[in-house]
């Protein structure tokens, strides 16, 4: 068996003019996005990580390099782990509440019901409202003296919890407010996914006399897997960035850090305590944790999709 003569092999066809046009179009469309991402996302991210190794008062023109002291202080501070606990509880409650309620509402309003379009609009409307405006409105809802919750509980003889003095109830109040505002997002995404589901699978399930529960788990949920994965990431990222509702309703209290989350701690340390380096440290820790969680979620989704 002899090897082929390289000179005898046919030459590769020259790149056509049409292929170059497609390549230039690709570069022309991609380059502006890469430039914007570099300026407004990647560069600030790198600068934030660099700043976390400095002690810098934002009112001072100079900063002092202190190595990993900010990270050591964060890891050894009891307040840090209380704030992490608040963040985890808030995030899990928001992700679970928004996704479960959004799915249930989507399943209900995917049916042929009278006035469903009006109800759909009413559910989605709070999502486009200002978080600060929603926070101010719900301050009156949860007011222990004359709020709506006090009135409703008083009618059945139940004492109104002190939402503004007890950290547990304050965190519950903020979480419920955020879920009310943002459940419309999950609802709309799930509703769109349900309307695009394969109807032949439901017809096959009906022919097999599958129960409603079986149809939901065996037909509906597998088709919503990609949507659920997408929502689990986006809702989690959005919940970790909540600032306006917490700032308006509790300002991170009661008892100083009763409802403080990590993103709110970044604001407090940077702009109130004027410790921009320490605030950058908290932001960097958040970034690393979110990156790891997202990587795990993507790997799980890829594994599920390859089955």
- Across the range 187-203, mean pLDDT stands at 91
Predicted local distance difference test score (pLDDT) of residue 13: 54
Predicted local distance difference test score (pLDDT) of residue 263: 94
Q: Tens digits of per-residue pLDDT, 23-57?
A: 888 888 889 999 999 999 889 999 999 999 999 98
- Percent with pLDDT over 90 in the chain: 59
Q: Tens digits of per-residue pLDDT, 288-304?
A: 998 998 888 888 877 76
Helix 69-76 to helix 276-305 angle (10° resolution) is 70
Query: What span, in angstroms and rounded, lies between the C-alpha atoms of 29 and 31?
Result: 6
Burial class (CB in 10 A: 0-12, 13-18, 19+), 216: middle
pLDDT, mean over the chain: 89
Predicted local distance difference test score (pLDDT) of residue 1: 47
Predicted local distance difference test score (pLDDT) of residue 306: 65
Predicted local distance difference test score (pLDDT) of residue 28: 87
| Topology (CATH level 3) of domain 80-305 | MetI-like fold (1.10.3720)
The model's confidence at residue 137, banded by pLDDT at 50, 70 and 90, is: very high
Query: What span, in angstroms and rounded, lies between the C-alpha atoms of 307 and 293?
Result: 22
Predicted local distance difference test score (pLDDT) of residue 303: 76
How big is the CA angle at 105 (ends 99 and 178), to the nearest 5 degrees?
50
């Amino acid at each position: 068996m002899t090897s082929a003569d390289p000179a005898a092999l046919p030459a590769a066809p020259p790149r056509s003019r049409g292929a170059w046009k497609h390549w230039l179009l690709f570069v022309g469309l991609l380059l502006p996005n890469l430039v914007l991402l570099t300026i407004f996302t990647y560069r600030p991210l790198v600068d934030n990580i660099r700043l976390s190794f400095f002690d810098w008062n934002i009112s001072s023109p100079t900063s002092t390099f202190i190595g990993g002291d900010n990270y050591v202080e964060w890891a050894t501070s009891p307040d840090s782990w209380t704030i992490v606990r608040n963040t985890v509880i808030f995030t899990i409650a928001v992700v679970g509440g928004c996704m479960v309620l959004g799915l249930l509402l989507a399943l209900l309003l995917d049916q042929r019901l009278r006035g469903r379009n009006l109800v759909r609009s009413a559910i989605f409307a709070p999502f486009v409202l200002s978080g600060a405006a929603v926070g101010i409105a719900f301050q009156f809802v949860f007011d222990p003296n004359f709020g709506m919750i006090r009135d409703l509980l008083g009618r059945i003889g139940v004492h109104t919890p002190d939402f503004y003095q007890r950290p547990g109830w304050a965190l519950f109040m903020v979480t419920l407010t955020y879920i009310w505002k943002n459940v419309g997002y999950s609802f709309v995404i799930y509703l769109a996914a349900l309307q695009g589901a394969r109807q032949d699978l439901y017809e096959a399930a009906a022919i097999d006399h599958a129960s409603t529960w079986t149809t939901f788990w065996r037909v509906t949920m597998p088709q919503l897997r990609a949507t659920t994965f997408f929502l689990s990431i986006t809702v989690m990222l959005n919940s970790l960035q909540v600032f306006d509702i917490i700032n308006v309703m509790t300002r991170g209290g009661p008892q100083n850090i009763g409802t403080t989350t990590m993103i709110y701690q970044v604001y407090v340390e940077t702009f109130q305590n004027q410790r921009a380096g320490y605030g950058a440290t908290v932001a960097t820790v958040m970034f690393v944790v979110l990156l790891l969680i997202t990587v795990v979620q993507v790997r799980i989704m890829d594994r599920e999709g390859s089955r």
